[in-house]
Amino acid sequence: MKKLNIIAVLAVLVLGVMTFGAVHAADKLKVGFIYVGPVGDLGYTYQHEVGRRALQKALNDKVETTYLENVPEGADAERAIEQLARAGNKLIFTTSFGFMDATVKVAAKYPNVFFEHATGFKRAKNLATYAARFYEGRYIQGQIAGKMTKSNIIGYIVSFPIPEVISGINATMLGAQSVNPNVKFKIIWVNSWFDPGKEADAAKALIDQGADILTQHTDSPAAMQIAEQRGIHAFGQSSDMIKFGPHAQLTADTDYWGNYYIDRAKLVLDGKWKSDDTWDGLDKGMVVMAPYTNMPDDVKAMAKKTEEAIRTHALHPFKCPIVDQNGKTVECKGGDRLDNGQILSMNWYVKGIDDKVPGQ
């Protein structure tokens, strides 16, 4: 009997949600989002969700947003994206690198729908790409780490050897070297974006091997918690993780997509949307540093100064000359800095990192 009640309640809820959706569908711009993880991952997907909510709030009377979370990268993604297109969404954001080919396919099928793919490089007339310059924040983190470390060993927990991650490691090292030439990195690849247990194990191993600052390119706050327990410092990733490391977090390299989502939706509403390749950073507020905490005032002042310099383009983290780990000077295709292509396809380490890029 109890069970029947529960089923009845569930059925009513489902029907309710469906009718609610149908009633509100009238002539608003429908915007769909595809997420690779759960909205509650406290990291990458969560930040996209924050952006979606900002869009909904800013243009509440003009747009209606929906999302599909936990969509696996690959064949299933195509079905999910198409589902959003069929449901009448006119602007669809696919928020992970692995959705690239699926987005390209669906975009070809629905020429009247605008697609936006995050962190990819394939574009079409109705398919734009966008990404954030995460490495800008990592350069600042490197400087802070270089100043704060006593053991001169920085522990770095990483997911997969893709260019975004490699350029993050390099930017951190370049930042660290700009204030401390003796910094060494110890790097552990956990081969997962998200496995809290493994991230915690890697953090423990790094601390045991002398690291007194942790940084990560994986998504959970596990490493931050270990840093807090062991009394060392760490940087948050994607989201502000201060809650998990009130005495440990120095800052966090966070993504903020709200401004971009609002801009793009406005362009569609005004009929001015066109396919673009957007790659913004601190300057447009797409990368935002969490408050600088648990550090002396002079380090904080230095971090703020560097942040300002990067924001105003006075400083570029990949300014030349840059020497790779084999001692070869890297060609500067962007004049006085590496160009976007070089950063987006980075598969080599800068001098000073004595690890090897996996698979190279």
Partner 1 sequence: MLETLINIFHLIFSESFILTVVTASTPLLLASSGELMVERSGVLNLGVEGMMIVGAACGFAGAWLSGSILVGALSGIIAGAALSGMFGILTLGLAVNQVATGLALTIFGVGLSGLIGAKFVGEKIAPAAHLHLPMLTDLPGVGRILFGEDPFVYVSVALIIGIWLFLYRSRPGLVLRAVGDNHASAHALGYPVLRIRMLAVLFGGACAGLAGAYLPLAYTPFFIPGMTSGRGWIALALVVFASWRPGRLVIGAYLFGAVSILGLALQPLQLGIPQQVMNMLPYLATVVVLVLISRARGTAGSAAPASLGLVFVPDR
> Interface with partner 1 by CB under 8 A: which residues?
37-38, 40-42, 70, 155, 186-192, 194-202, 204-206, 208-209, 220-222, 225, 243-244, 354-356, 358-359
Q: Give 217-248 as a DSSP string.
A: ESSSTHHHHHHHHHT-EEEEEES--GGG-TTT
To the nearest whole angstrom, how small is the minimum distance from the Cβ of residue 131 to partner 1? 24
Please tell me what DSSP assigns to residue 120. Answer: -
Taking the least distance from each CB to partner 1, the nearer of 243 and 333 is 243
Taking the least distance from each CB to partner 1, the nearer of 339 and 354 is 354
List the structure tokens of 79: 């079905």
To the nearest whole angstrom, how small is the minimum distance from the Cβ of residue 197 to partner 1? 5
To the nearest whole angstrom, how small is the minimum distance from the Cβ of residue 346 to partner 1? 18
Q: Are strands 213-217 and 63-68 parallel, antiparallel or unpaired?
A: unpaired
Please tell me what DSSP assigns to residue 351. Answer: T
Distance of alpha carbon 18 from its chain centroid, rounded?
32
Taking the least distance from each CB to partner 1, the nearer of 116 and 240 is 240
Taking the least distance from each CB to partner 1, the nearer of 42 and 85 is 42
Taking the least distance from each CB to partner 1, the nearer of 38 and 334 is 38
User: Is residue 95 within 8 Å of residue 41, measured between CB atoms?
Assistant: no
β-pair partners for 324: 350
User: Is residue 185 within 8 Å of residue 217, measured between CB atoms?
Assistant: no
To the nearest whole angstrom, how small is the minimum distance from the Cβ of residue 235 to partner 1? 18
To the nearest whole angstrom, how small is the minimum distance from the Cβ of residue 37 to partner 1? 8
Taking the least distance from each CB to partner 1, the nearer of 205 and 269 is 205
Taking the least distance from each CB to partner 1, the nearer of 4 and 314 is 4
Q: At 170, which helix (H) or strand (E)?
A: helix 163-177
CA 36, 37, 39, 45 torsion-angle sign: negative
Residues 6+ apart with CB under 8 A from 324: 330, 348, 349, 350, 351
Taking the least distance from each CB to partner 1, the nearer of 245 and 317 is 245
User: Is residue 238 within 8 Å of residue 255, measured between CB atoms?
Assistant: yes
Burial class (CB in 10 A: 0-12, 13-18, 19+), 359: exposed
To the nearest whole angstrom, how small is the minimum distance from the Cβ of residue 358 to partner 1? 5
Backbone torsions φ then ψ of 32, nearest 5 degrees: -110, 150
To the nearest whole angstrom, how small is the minimum distance from the Cβ of residue 228 to partner 1? 10
To the nearest whole angstrom, how small is the minimum distance from the Cβ of residue 151 to partner 1? 13
Judged by DSSP in three states, 132 sits in strand
